[in-house]
Amino acid sequence: MGRPFLELSDRTPVCFGDTRQIYEVSDYPGSLVRTIRPERVDAFGHLVGKNGMKRLRMAGCYQGFARELAEYLIQSRRLHTQPGFLLPFAHIYGLVQTDMGTGLVMEKIVGEDGELAPTIGHLHAEGRLTDKHQAALEAMFERCRGLHIVLSDIHANNIVYTEERSGRPECVSVDGFGERVFIPIHRWFASVNRRKINRIARDAAASLRRPPAQERWGRH
Ligand SMILES: Nc1ncnc2c1ncn2[C@@H]1O[C@H](COP(=O)(O)OP(=O)(O)OP(=O)(O)O)[C@@H](O)[C@H]1O
Ligand SMILES: [Mg+2]
């Protein structure tokens, strides 16, 4: 048995984001492997177009992985007496080397057909968003306030809706959690974090009343 090294380059991703591509791999059932899209990475391992101070971030194109991992570990510490805890964001299972760079192995959130759960953005775009989705979204924000989870880059396609994960309606953040700013004030102060989540929730409610658009919530 050799070291785990995944060959992904001849597989087709199940989904593409702006920066990442998502693979389903039979070696990791119930999980997804996320890698950074190669065309978004420069020769130094930074994201193309990130200049100045942003290049001081030592993890470069993997900074997002570091942010999500850190948030997962912070929650693991807080909840260490509660084995089996369930967070309102996709759980992180680990890192794996692949021929597409380091991959983040994470919980796959599924819909009733077993496929990737729909995002709030997709439901909105298809005119399928109902009160139960909006209530689940507000419940997710409320759990994030209560657990002091930092949300930094939230938009409608970073949140998915499922009833399969816990057997009840639920919104789960699949991207955009974890502290983004250099001085981690949201991590340090629950009150500052709550205000930020209030802004995100307010923007979300307003944005979901308008025609679908790619808007980041809580940025102002
Ligand atoms: N753990 C997951 N479970 C289910 N679906 C997921 C998961 N992670 C990602 N997805 C799907 O893949 C899409 C893209 O993933 P992701 O948000 O990580 O990419 P991204 O490049 O960061 O996107 P963007 O920069 O546009 O936010 C998501 O919008 C979602 O539909
Ligand atoms: Mg995303």
| Mean pLDDT for the stretch of residues 41-55 | 89
Segment 97-119 shows an average pLDDT of 97
- Helix or strand or coil: residue 124? helix
Average pLDDT over residues 77-81: 97
Q: Tokens 């009150």 label which residue?
A: 191
Q: How does pLDDT run across 130-142, given as a tens digit for each residue?
A: 999 999 999 999 9
Q: For the chain, give the percent of residues with pLDDT over 90.
A: 90
Give yes or no for residue 220 having a pLDDT over 80.
no
Closest CA to 214 of 124, 151, 150: 124
- CB neighbours (10 Å) of residue 187? 18
User: What is the per-residue pLDDT for 2?
Assistant: 66
Chain centroid, CA 42 distance in Å: 23
Ligand located closest to 118 CA: 1
92 and 198 fall within a common domain: no
**Does residue 217 register a pLDDT over 90?**
yes
Final residue in a domain of this structure, among 59, 80, 108:
108
**Same-domain pairing of 46 and 100:** yes
Q: Pocket of ligand 1, candidates 12, 22, 24: which has the most ligand atoms within 8 Å of its Cβ, to mutate?
A: 22
- Answer yes or no: is the C-beta of 21 below 6 A from any ligand 1 atom: no
Tell me, what's the pLDDT at 55? Answer: 80
Residue of the CA atom closest to atom 1 of ligand 1: 108
Whose tokens are 């059932």? That residue is 29
Answer yes or no: do 75 and 162 share one domain.
no
Rounded distance between C-alpha atoms, residue 101 and residue 37, angstroms: 9
Distance CA 92, CA 216 (A): 23
Same structural domain for residues 73 and 10?
yes
Q: Which residues surround ligand 2, an ion (CB under 5 A)?
A: 17, 158, 175
Q: Which of 86, 108, 130 is the last residue of a domain?
A: 108
pTM across the whole model: 0.95
Q: Which atom of ligand 1 is nearest to the CA of 119?
A: 31
pLDDT of residue 54: 77
Q: What is the mean pLDDT of the chain?
A: 95
Cα of 18 vs centre of ligand 2, distance in Å, is 7
Mean pLDDT of 197-207: 97
Find the helix packing angle between 190-209 and 131-147, rounded to 10°: 170
Q: What is the pLDDT of residue 125?
A: 97
Residue 70, domain CATH: 3.30.200
CB 116 less than 6 A from any atom of ligand 1: yes
107 lines ligand 1 (CB under 6 A): yes
Rounded to whole angstroms, the Cα distance separating 7 from 111 reads 27
Query: Same structural domain for residues 46 and 133?
Result: no
Check residue 205 and give its pLDDT.
96
Q: Percent of the chain having pLDDT more than 70?
A: 98
pLDDT at 56: 82
Coil/strand/helix, residue 66: helix
Neighbouring CB atoms inside 10 A of 147's CB total: 16
Query: Band of the pLDDT at 1, cuts 50, 70, 90?
Result: low
For position 219, what pLDDT does the model report? 86
Minimal CA–CA distance to 34: which of 107, 85, 117, 142?
Answer: 107
Q: Separation of 158 CA from ligand 2 center, angstroms?
A: 5
> Sorting pLDDT into bands at 50, 70 and 90, what band is 88?
very high
| pLDDT given at position 116 | 97
Q: How far apart are CA 65 and CA 106, in angstroms?
A: 11
Q: Determine if residue 153 is left, alpha or beta; phi over 0 gives left, psi from -120 to 50 gives alpha, anything else beta.
A: beta
Give the residue-averaged pLDDT of 35-47: 96
Number of domains in the chain: 2
Residues 116 and 220 in one domain: yes
CB of 162 shorter than 6 A to ligand 1:
no
Mean pLDDT of 144-170: 97
Given a contact cutoff of 8 angstroms between Cβ atoms, the answer to whether 81 and 164 are in contact is no
> Under a CB-based contact definition with an 8 Å cutoff, are residues 90 and 105 in contact?
no
* Residue 170 beta carbon below 6 angstroms from any ligand 1 atom: no
Q: Which ligand is located closest to the Cα atom of residue 120?
A: 1
Mean pLDDT of 75-88: 97
Report phi then psi at 136, rounded to 5: -65, -35
| Closest ligand, as measured to the CA of 164 | 1
Segments forming the whole domain that contains residue 169: 109-220
User: What's the sign of the alpha-carbon dihedral 188, 191, 195, 197?
Assistant: positive
Cβ of 172 closer than 6 Å to ligand 1, yes or no, is no
